[in-house]
Structure 1
Amino acid sequence: MPNTLSLIRTANGLLSPVVPRVSARIAAHLFTTPRRHAPPVRELISEQQGERLTIAGGPDFEQLSALRFGRGPRILAIHGWEGRATQWGPLAEQLDRAGFELVAIDGPAHGQSPGRHAHPIAFANALLAADRQLGPFAAVIGHSMGVPAVAVALSRGLRAEQAVLIAGPSNVEGVLGRFAAMLGLAPAATRQFETRIQGIVGAPAEQLSIATLGRQLRQPALVIHSKDDREIPFADALDHARHWQNATLHAVNGLGHRRIVRDEGVIEAIVATVAAAQRVRSSARC
């Protein structure tokens, strides 16, 4: 992949100033076409521990595959870009012990869900499809690109009492900018790339930012981010905490961008947060 990326950057350095439209079209295709990675052995174990469900489709997909673990108050989770539902296995185990059920979605074009293309709004629509079939939820959890999807879905009526936002970008504009820079796009090609993505997603990037969405949301949010994350800057976590009305920041270090979802300390923090909120809701109903 490094050699492939080097070739792409070299080609874009030569061609994107001359034919920006072509370079932008290729970049948009790459940005919305996830690769499917073979799951490691630990995730194959998670697959066996869960129960496969089919979720009826929405505007971006015919159907989705999901894994259900445990029984109890229901929690919804969605992975990040090129992730899978099986990545939530360690969290599912601890939530089950605490008396919760976890429904983990394979996003469109990810895991065992069909499709070839995806983007944040498609992920948000996947959460809303799960809500129509299985909601409401005690909490919704997102990792990486799943975080803006959670925010969008909540703003569009996803029924969840609280949110957990793990290593997520606070704005899609930053994601697009970093992707364009990684590919070595010239400024004109970058602008056309961003316009193409807006057309595909159906909304301008600024409407998907936490600065815009956070003002609308009333659910408490636990924001978890590692300070050494090289894919999504820790500054994005500070934006989440600043703009989401009722957010708590749980900063960690040394966990990077992906290892964070299976870290024991992070899992303990998530379980403790959702369990405490469930106890408050149960007491209020008594």
Structure 2
Amino acid sequence: MSEKIYFNTSNKFSFKRSLIGATTNLHYILAPSHAKKTARKLLLTPVRTEAKNAEPKGLAKAEVVGRDGVLKTYSLGSGPTWVLTHGWSGTASQFYPLMEHIAKQGFTALAYDHPAHGGSDGVHGHIPAFVNGLEAILDSADEVVGLVGHSMGTASALECKHAKLENKPLLLIAPVLDYLDNLFGSVARSGYSMKLFEAVVGEVEEQFNYPIQSVDPYGKLALRSSRTIIVHDEKDKFTKFSVSQRAANEMEKVNLVATQGQGHGRVMKCQEVFESFDNLI
């Protein structure tokens, strides 16, 4: 599914949205099992996008087995490891420019495709799958010294309780800190049946024993003792700059670097990101 649903911030009235709401509600009433199956396919299936950047010279590809199957990994450089985790409908290739920068600074940059993304196995994507995938990568990595996340990858990184991330610096790019408000608000604005969406969420909760209401990236960021730098574009259309700004104002260990004209995706390879990484090391 496109980020346009999960990160939709428009409040404008739309007849099309009203029609979607009526249709999906009726579908759920008349054929609940089929409606939930259809909703899983629509709401939990990310778009497998093509590589965003050319492969850097020396890129090493490998595989790690996670709960949802094989995860494709991509590493560059040598030395202590920085793990890079992408967002919804993204791929590790979005990080290639930053990986080159990290490698030049004397580190190993280790990126991977989340379950159901890029070249990795899996059909459905959601926070439990993202967290499980990250944990598998961390299990396989040596000497992890920090993490870079983008968009939904930032939420799963903050939710992850793996010991290798304790007291490690974070570079969060266009983060989703208000995950629940963003998720439920965006689906509601799309017009999709909230009853049907909540039923699908309930199935995921039961399958992974992962209560959705426990997801609180903002609160978990506030509890971290290590440094965090957020790089966020002021006009980001998919995640709220104002929430990142509030985090930087309220949390002593969090600094915000604001960009302009970089949007939600281009920001991943802007100069401010490279400079923020250098600041963290």
TM-score range, shorter chain: 0.7 to 0.9
Report the alpha carbon displacement of residue 25 of structure 1 after superposing the two structures with TM.
5.5
Residue in structure 2 matched with residue 104 of structure 1 by the alignment: 111
Using the TM superposition, give the Cα deviation of residue 28 of structure 1 relative to its aligned residue in structure 2, in angstroms.
Answer: 4.0
In 1, Cα distance between the equivalents of 2:210 and 2:223?
17
Q: Which residue of 1 aligns with 2:10?
A: none
Bigger shift: residues 120-129 or 64-73: 120-129
Distance 1:27 1:188, change over 3 A: same
Counterpart pick for 2:54 among 40, 44, 63: 44
Counterpart residue number, 1:269: 276
TM-score relative to the length of structure 2? 0.82
Q: Work out whether 1:252 is the aligned partner of 2:256.
A: no
C-alpha deviation, 1:192, in angstroms: 4.0
Offset of residue 223 of structure 1:
1.3
Q: Secondary structure at the match of 2:130?
A: helix
Q: Which residue of 2 aligns with 1:141?
A: 148
The residue aligned with 2:71 is 64
1:54, distance to aligned residue in structure 2 (A): 1.1
Read off the aligned partner of 2:76 and give its amino acid letter.
F
2:244 matches 1:232? no
Partner of 1:14: 22
In structure 1, C-alpha distance between the alignment counterparts of 2:245 and 2:274, rounded to whole Å? 20
> Does structure 1 residue 124 correspond to structure 2 residue 131?
yes
Shift of 1:114: 1.2
Q: Tell me the amino acid that sits aligned with residue 226 of structure 1.
A: D
Task: For 1:259 and 1:268, locate their aligned partners in 2 and report how far apart those are by CA, in whole Å.
Answer: 15
CA distance change for structure 1 residues 62 and 108 in 2, over 3 Å: closer, same or farther?
same
Q: Deviations over 1:243-263 (max 9, x none)?
A: 656211112221111111011
CA distance in 1, matches of 2:150, 2:64: 20
Q: Which runs of 5+ in 2 are unaligned?
A: 6-13
Q: Which residue of 1 aligns with 2:88?
A: 81
| Structure 1 contact 27–180 (Cα < 8 Å) conserved | no
Which segment drifts farther, 81-90 or 176-185?
A: 176-185
Cα distance between partner residues in 2 of 1:178 and 1:231: 12
- The CA distance in 2 between the partners of 1:239 and 1:194, in whole Å, is 28
C-alpha distance 106-255 of structure 1, shift in aligned 2 (>3 A): same
Task: Specify which structure has the higher proportion of helix.
Answer: 1
For the 8 Å contact 2:173–2:231, the answer to whether it is kept is: yes
Distance 2:198 2:129 in 1: 22
Structure 2: distance between partners of 1:263 and 1:186 = 38
Residue 142 of structure 1 aligns to a residue in which SS?
strand
The 10-residue stretch of structure 1 (255-264 or 191-200) with the greater mean CA deviation from structure 2: 191-200
Per-residue CA deviation, residues 24-69 of structure 1 (Å, 9 max, x unaligned), is 66444322111111224xx2333x5411021132x3x122111001
Q: TM-score, length-normalised on structure 1? A: 0.81
Give the Cα–Cα distance (whole angstroms) in 2 for the partners of residues 185 and 197 of structure 1. Answer: 18
| Cα distance, 1:191 vs structure 2 | 4.5
Distance 1:207 1:244 in 2: 21
The yes-or-no answer on 1:169 pairing with 2:181 is no
| 3-state secondary structure, aligned to 1:148 | helix
CA contact (8 A) 2:54 2:96 kept: no
More displaced 10-residue stretch of structure 1: 27-36 or 102-111: 27-36
Matched, 1:220 2:227: yes
User: C-alpha displacement at 1:162, in angstroms?
Assistant: 1.1
The unaligned stretches of length 5 or more in structure 1 are 276-286
Deviates more, 1:186-195 or 1:232-241: 186-195
Query: Matches of 2:212 and 2:256 in 1, distance apart?
Result: 24
Q: Is the 8 A contact 2:62 2:72 kept in 1?
A: yes
Cα distance between partner residues in 2 of 1:242 and 1:205: 27
Counterpart selection for 2:165 from 153, 159, 162? 159
Asked if the contact 1:25/1:196 (under 8 Å) is kept, the reply is no
Secondary structure of the 1:138 match is: strand
1:214 CA displacement: 2.6
Counterpart CA distance in 1 for 2:210 and 2:250 is 20
Give the count of matched residue pairs.
266
- Name the aligned partner's letter for residue 266 of structure 2: R
Letter in 1 for 2:108: E
